[in-house]
Structures are given as structure tokens and as C-alpha cells.
Amino acid sequence: MNVPPPPPINGPSNSNQVATHSIAEFLAATAERDNPGDVFELESSKMLEARVRGRIWSKLGAMVAYRGNVKFVREGMMEGGLGKAFMRMVSGEMSPLAKIEGDGLVYLADAGKEITILRLSGDTINVSGNDLLAFEDTVTYNITMHKRVAGMMAGGLFSAALSGSGMVAIVTHGKPLTLRVRPGDPVFTDPNATVAWSGNLTPEMHSDVNMKAIFGRGGGETFQMKFQGEGFVVIQPFEELAPAPPSA
């Protein structure tokens, strides 16, 4: 539904008062916004509205509300072939996905994280498994294990390579920052703060065991992901520890 811009809500006159507003003001300030035509739209920086007409994919458990005739189906272990099944089995970083099918509106969120919508037009982007919120059915994905990194990190490092044409929603703790990678000017990032990178880049692990890493926090200072070539890398202002891979 079309809702006019919310009116300003007057704050308290002093620090001892609590701001109050009428039901009408509250509804105007918090009601959903409608931008017809887009499959994904942001209701707020932390809430995604997905318009389902057929099928989309989302992180399992990301649904917070829906309307219409839709159903949620967990992605099968063998869906996508044996290669994907093996990657899911050994990776603790790739969160399970859900197929959302039918006709309706679904609202998605992930632990209060900021949401960014990307539109692919024949591009490829790698997204850290835990930072992928949703994508259109027109976008294909493959789980990638980065061999040059796996030998230096327990469980390796897994990401989803998304390609094709359509919308992709990613999540970050705080506002994301995109760093350009240029020939001769590599970018080093903390693996736990790295969200996404352009499809043509392949990260390598860079080791820097020094006194700061040993006696400081250790972790981000010890190992960094090295990106070199031509492209970009997206980071967040937060070091997110990936869950441990499942035991055999």
C-alpha cells in the first residue's frame, strides 16, 4: 500500500520525559512502504521485503512475517548435486538455505544486521556463507572452498559464488565498506570481517605472526586474506567468528 512519508514525531521536552505519539503517528512512522515492480525492497535498513511470485531463496530462519500463499522448503542435502552436498557437509560456515515458493510478501531479517541489496547483471560476486540473506531464483550459486586458505584455517573458508541476473541481499554488522583492489596494490582483510568480493578475485591467506598477534587479541592480526588483481572487497566493522564445522 502507498503510505505518505511519516510525519516527524516530537521528542521529549527534557531528559526526564519519555517520547510518546498517537497510534496514527506510530502507524505512519512504521508502516510498510510499497515500491511496485522490485522483487526486493528495504522496509528499513534491517528489514527486507521480498515479493514472491514463483520462488526465491533465503537464509534458513530469516523469515519474520509473511502474507499471501507461500510455503517454505528447506534445501535438500542432495539438491544441486553431489559436489554441493559434500560442501554443505564439511562446511560450518554455509548457513542452510530455504526455498520460498508461492505468491505473497515475505519479510526477512537476520539478527538486526544491516541489509544491502545488490543487482547482478551477468556479474559474479562471492559472499561469505554467513552473510548471504536472500537471492532471486534467476541467480545461480555454487559453494566454493578456497584451497589456498583452507590449509591455514580450521575448516577452511567457504563462500557462495552468485552469478547471473537478479537481486541478491547480503547482511553486515554495521555499514559495509567497499575497498577497490588494483594491480600492484593488494588489499589485506581480516577473514572474520570480510563479507564479499568480486567474482574475478581469488583470496590467498597471508600469515603475520608477530608480537601483537601473540600477546594481543590474536586471530585477525595473525592471518589476513590477501586480494590482488582488479576488483573489490567488502568488509564490515565487526569480526564475526564462523561456527565450527560439524564433527565427523
- What structural domains does the chain harbor? 36-235 (3.60.160.10)
pLDDT of res. 177? 93
Name the H helices within the chain.
23-30, 82-90, 147-150, 211-215
Assigned C-alpha cell, 27: 502507524
Q: What are the tens digits of pLDDT across the range 186-204?
A: 999 988 899 999 999 989 8
| Cβ contact 68:130 at 8 Å | no
Torsion of Cα atoms, 207 then 213 then 219 then 224, to 10°? -30
First CA to last CA across the chain, in angstroms? 50
pLDDT of res. 110? 96
Query: β-strands 204-207, 158-172: how paired?
Result: unpaired
Q: What is the pLDDT along the chain (248 residues), one digit of tens a residue?
A: 444 555 554 444 455 566 666 657 767 777 766 665 689 999 999 999 999 999 999 999 999 999 999 999 987 544 544 444 444 444 444 567 899 999 999 999 999 999 999 999 999 999 988 899 999 999 999 888 765 554 444 445 778 999 999 999 999 999 999 999 999 999 999 888 999 999 999 898 877 655 455 444 444 456 788 999 999 999 999 987 654 444 43
Query: β-strands 177-181, 231-235: how paired?
Result: antiparallel
| Cβ contact 132:126 at 8 Å | no
pTM for this predicted structure = 0.76
Neighbours of 187 (CB within 10 A): 21
Distance between CA atoms of residues 108 and 65, nearest Å: 7
pLDDT of res. 109? 98
Of 64, 59, 71, 75, give the one whose Cα is nearest residue 100. 71
pLDDT of res. 28? 76
Of 69, 184, 178, 29, give the one whose Cα is nearest residue 116. 178
pLDDT of res. 38? 83
Distance between CA atoms of residues 56 and 136, nearest Å: 5
